[in-house]
Every structure is written in C-alpha cells, then in structure tokens.
Amino acid sequence: MNADRTDRADEAPRAQAMERAIGLVLRAGVLASSACLALGLAIALVAGEQGAALVLLHTGVILLLITPVARVIVSIGQFASAGDWTFMGLTIVVLVELMASAAAALVFNRRA
C-alpha cells in the first residue's frame, strides 16, 4: 500500500509539469501566429505591400496549424520521460494520423 501512495504522489508533479509544457507550446504557437497575422494585416492595410503581407499571413496560418502537432510531439516526449509507454504509443498513433491527414489533404486537393 505504501508504494502505491508513493506512485500516486509522484504522478501529480509529473502531470503538472506536462500541463505546463503543453500550455507553453500552445501559448507560444498562438502568440506567434497572432503576431504574424496582425503584422501581415497591418502591412497590407497601411503600406499596401502585398508580397511581405502575404508571406506573414501565410506564416501565421501555418504556425496556427502546426501548433496542435507541436503539442502532440511534446506529449510524446513527456510520456516517454515518465516511462508511460502505453500513452506514448497512443500519442504516436495520433501523430501518425495527423500527418497522414495532412498528406492526404495535400495529395487529394491538388488543383488541376
């Protein structure tokens, strides 16, 4: 029974560290995306510069799309460091599904 209590006590700090890491990744992704989108929009409206504005707008959208993938990658690392192989394996399956759906979208939505 004592070892069971110790395992549960160790899980709480690990879970909190994982939540903090995931939260940091999500915040960084959303902030970087928002900054690119806002700057691209400002350049397009104020300067009328289409080239730089489009690059920033595309970068902002791509960053926003990549953010959940980064969260999954961080989760894989956290589960591996905690030795939680079941959840690590399940999270790898999620990552493979995300990548497969992105690849399918690129392949099947090509313009003729």
**For residue 40, what are the domain limits?**
2-108
- The residue written with tokens 């192989």 in the block is 85
Among 52, 32, 28, 48, which residue's Cα sits nearest to residue 40? Answer: 52
CA 78, 84, 87, 90 dihedral sign is positive
Residue 12, token pair as written in the block: 């709480």
pLDDT score of 3 more than 60 = no
**Secondary structure of residue 111 in the 3-state scheme:** coil
Contact 67, 29 (CB under 8 A): yes
- The total domain count for the chain is 1
Residue 34, token pair as written in the block: 């928002």
Contact 98, 68 (CB under 8 A): yes
Q: CB 78: neighbour CB atoms within 10 A?
A: 20
Rounded mean pLDDT, 69-85: 94
Angle, nearest 10°, between helix axes 50-82 and 2-42?
A: 180
The model carries a pTM of 0.78
Q: How confident is the model at residue 50 (pLDDT cuts 50, 70, 90)?
A: confident
10-19 pLDDT, tens digit per residue, is: 677 888 888 9
